[in-house]
Amino acid sequence: MSPVASVHSLWTTAAGTPGRIPAPHIEYAQLSPTLIVLGAAVAGIVIEAFLPRRSRYYAQLLLSVVSLAAAFAAVIGLAAGGFGSSRAHLAAMGALAVDGPALFLQGTILLVSLIAVFTFAERRLDPAAHGNHIDSFAAQPAAVPGGAAEQAAVKAGFTTTEVFPILLFAVGGMLIFPAANDLLTLFIALEVFSLPLYVLCALARRQRLLSQESAVKYFLLGAFSSAFLLFGVALLYGYAGTVTYAGIAEVVSDGAKQVDPALAGTMGNDALLLIGGALLLMGLLFKVGAVPFHMWTPDVYQGAPTPVTGFMAAATKVAAFGALLRLLYVVLPGMRWDWRPVMWGVAIVTMLGGAVIAITQTDIKRLLAYSSIAHAGFILAGVIAASKDGISSVLFYLAAYSFVTLGAFAVVTLVRDAGGEATHLSKWAGLGRRSPLVAAVFAVFLLAFAGIPLTSGFAGKFAVFKAAAESGAGWLVVVGVISSAIAAFFYIRVIVLMFFSEPKTDGPTVAVPSALTSTAIAVGVAATLVLGLAPQYFLDLAGQAGVFIR
C-alpha cells in the first residue's frame, strides 16, 4: 500500500470510528454578538455583488445599523442572563471567554461602531458633484489618483459602499480580540480587524496620495507588530507546551506538571517566558499606540479619512486594552514583579511623550493623535494597578474616552474649505464667532480630554489614578498629573484660538451636517456630560464587570 493510501485509510478509519473525532461544542447563543456582526459583513459582500449600485448605499447602511444594534442587544441579554458574573465561563472549546470584562468591552465597541457608521454614511458635507451627493471615500479606490478613471467615477456619482462590510469585519475581529482565551485566537482576531483597517485608511476621497501613504505605513508597521506577536506566541508555546491562557498561567505559577516529550528541552525555560512575554506585549502596545511603538499614529490619523480615524482611535483602543488586560491579569499574573517595572517605564514615556510633542503640532488631527498617545499612558496607569479596581477603572476610562474621541473627530469633519477638511490649526481661528455652536461642542470635547471636572475625562482619570495610587504607584500618578497639566495647555490653546481670535476673511466654512453626523456628535456630548456629572452608576457597572474568568 502506498503512503498516501495508508494515510487515507487511517483517516477514514478514524472518521468512521465513533468517538475518535469528536465534534466541537460551540455555544452559539453566547457567541451571538460576534456571529451577528460577521454574518452581516458576509451579507454586505453579497449585497455588493448582486444589488444594483443605486440601491447599495441604503441597503448597506440599514444592514450595518440593524446588525450592530442586534449584536448590542445580544450583549445586554448575555449580561442580564448572568454571563458577566455568576455564569461566566469559557466558550468555543475554551477559545473565547464569556465574562464581565469581555461583555463590557464588546458592548462599548458595538456602541462606538454604531455611532461610527453614522459618520461613515454622511453625504451632506461636501458640495454635490455632478448632481450627486458624495461621502468621505474615494469614488473608485482602485483608480489612479487624479486619473481619467477616477474622474469618470466621480462624474458618474459612484460611492464606495464596500466600506460598510469592511467596517463590520473590523468590528467582528475587535469583538473577538478582548475575549480571546488562547494565543492563536488572539492572533487571528488581531489580523481580522487589522486588515480591514489598513484598507479603510487608503480610501480618502480627497488627498488620495496622503491617504494611501498612511495606509502603507500602517500596513508595514502593523505587519512588524504582528510578526513580533506571533514570534512571542511561538516562544510561549515552547515554554508552556500550550497556547491556552490558563495552561500558560499554570506553568508560570507551578512549573510544568506533565512534560510533553517533544517540548521537554524547552518547557519551563524562563528565557523563553520573558522574551515571549515581551514580544506579545510589543504587539499589543503597538495597537494601543504606546511609546515607543507609536510612530504610525500621527501619520495614519492625519492621512486616513476622518470617519475612519475616529472609529479607529476609539474602537481599536478599547479592543487592544481589553486584550492587554486579559494577557497581564490571566496569563502573566505570576510575573507581576517582572512586567510592572517595564510597564511603569512605558506608561511614563507615553504620558510625557504624547503631551509634550502635541504642543508642537499645527494640524488638528495630528494633535488629537498625540493626545491619544498621552491617553494611552493614562490608561496604562490603571493597568499597572494590578487590582480589581484597576480593571474597572480602565473599563470605565475606555468607555468614556471612546465617545469623546468619536465626537471630536465628527466635529473635525464639519470645518471645511475648498480643499476639503480644514485641519490646519490656523484655519480654526475665530471659529467661535463664525459658528458658536460647533466651537462650543468641540470645546466640551477638548475639556473632557484635558480632564476638567464635570466631564467624563475627569471621572476616568480620577478612577485610574486612584487605582494606581492605592496599588503603590504614587510616583506614576504624580507623573500623570504633570502630563495632564502639560496636555491641558494645548487643549486650552485651541479653545482660546477658536473664541478669542479674529476670524479670517478667507477662513473655512462650517458645513451643515445631516441627522447622521448630528446624532454622532450629540451622543458624544451626552456621554461626555452624563459620565462626568453622574459617573457612579457606570463606575459600579464597570466594577461588577471587572473580574476575569480563569
Residue 113 gets the label, from left (phi > 0), alpha (psi -120 to 50) or beta, of alpha
pLDDT of residue 229: 93
Residues of the chain with pLDDT under 50: 1-14
The pLDDT, as a whole number, for residue 255 is: 61
Exposed/middle/buried for residue 146 (C-beta within 10 Å: 0-12, 13-18, 19+): exposed
**Region label for 255, one of left (φ > 0), alpha (ψ between -120 and 50) or beta (otherwise):** left
Whether residue 483 contacts residue 355, with contact meaning beta carbons closer than 8 Å, is answered with yes
Mean pLDDT of the residues in the chain: 86
- The confidence score (pLDDT) of residue 92 equals 84
Residue 6 has a pLDDT of 42
Strands of the sheet with 415-417, listed across from one edge? 420-421, 415-417, 509-510
Q: Is this model's pTM higher than 0.85 or not?
A: yes
Residue 147 neighbours by CB under 8 Å, 6+ apart:
none
Cis-peptide, bond into residue 292, ω within 30° of zero = yes
pLDDT at position 13 is 47
pLDDT at residue number 318: 93
Taking the C-alpha atoms of residue 164 and residue 62, their distance in angstroms, rounded to an integer, is 10
State the angle between helix axes of 270-288 and 336-358 in degrees (0 to 180), rounded to the nearest 10: 30
Q: In the numeric block, which cell numbers belong to residue 308?
A: 475612519
| Residue 355: its H or E element | helix 336-358
Helices H / strands E in the chain, number of each: 22, 5
Q: How many CA atoms lie within 13 A of 438 on its CB side?
A: 24
Nearest to 415 by CA among 301, 324, 498: 498
pLDDT of residue 94: 83
